[in-house]
């Protein structure tokens, strides 16, 4: 899978983030199966960061005894990509030139 193909796939799977960039969920990445490692590598190479959203603090209500349980480290549930990560990415569904082929301009 080429870098451009991964960029198109990530752009299709991601959604807008409040920072102006895009966010992609870990579950969506894992659903891509064999391509998930390439997608994670692409995210890392394009300055994607793990979402730093922390879980809310447990209350001391009915199940307050659970609040004393140690919080376990869990992998990030989503990754945030800066807007510049897609600056040169091809649009999903856009035709791409085959290897060694020069793309032609289409006049309308």
pLDDT value, residue 45: 93
pLDDT at position 51 is: 83
Residue 102 has pLDDT above 70, yes or no: no
Let me know: does 25 contact 77? Beta carbons within 8 Å: yes
- Report the pLDDT value the prediction gives residue 85, as an integer from 0 to 100: 85
Report residue 69 as tokens: 């349980």
How far, in Å, CA of 43 to CA of 66, rounded?
35
Residue 38 CA, chain-centre distance (Å), reads 12
Q: Considering the chain, what percentage of its residues have pLDDT values greater than 90?
A: 43
Mean pLDDT on 18-32: 92
Burial environment of residue 85 by CB neighbours within 10 A (0 to 12, 13 to 18, 19 or more):
buried
Distance CA 108, CA 90 (A): 20
What distance in Å separates the CA atoms of residue 89 and residue 46, rounded to the nearest whole number? 11
11 Cβ contact partners less than 8 Å away, ≥ 6 residues apart: 22, 86, 89, 91, 92
69 pLDDT higher than 90: no
User: Model pTM?
Assistant: 0.64
pLDDT band at 66 (very low <50, low <70, confident <90, very high): low
Question: What confidence score (pLDDT) does residue 107 get?
Answer: 55
> Per-residue pLDDT for 92 more than 80?
no
């Amino acid at each position: 899978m080429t870098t451009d193909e991964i960029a198109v796939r990530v752009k299709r799977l991601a959604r807008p983030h409040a920072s102006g960039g895009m966010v992609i969920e870990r579950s969506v990445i894992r659903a891509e199966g064999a391509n998930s490692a390439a997608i994670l590598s692409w995210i890392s190479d394009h300055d994607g960061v793990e979402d730093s959203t922390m879980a809310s603090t447990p209350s001391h209500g009915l199940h307050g005894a659970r609040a004393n349980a140690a919080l376990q480290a869990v992998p990030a549930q989503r990754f945030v990509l800066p807007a510049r990560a897609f600056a040169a990415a091809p649009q999903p569904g856009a035709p791409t030139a085959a290897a060694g082929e020069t793309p032609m301009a289409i006049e309308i």
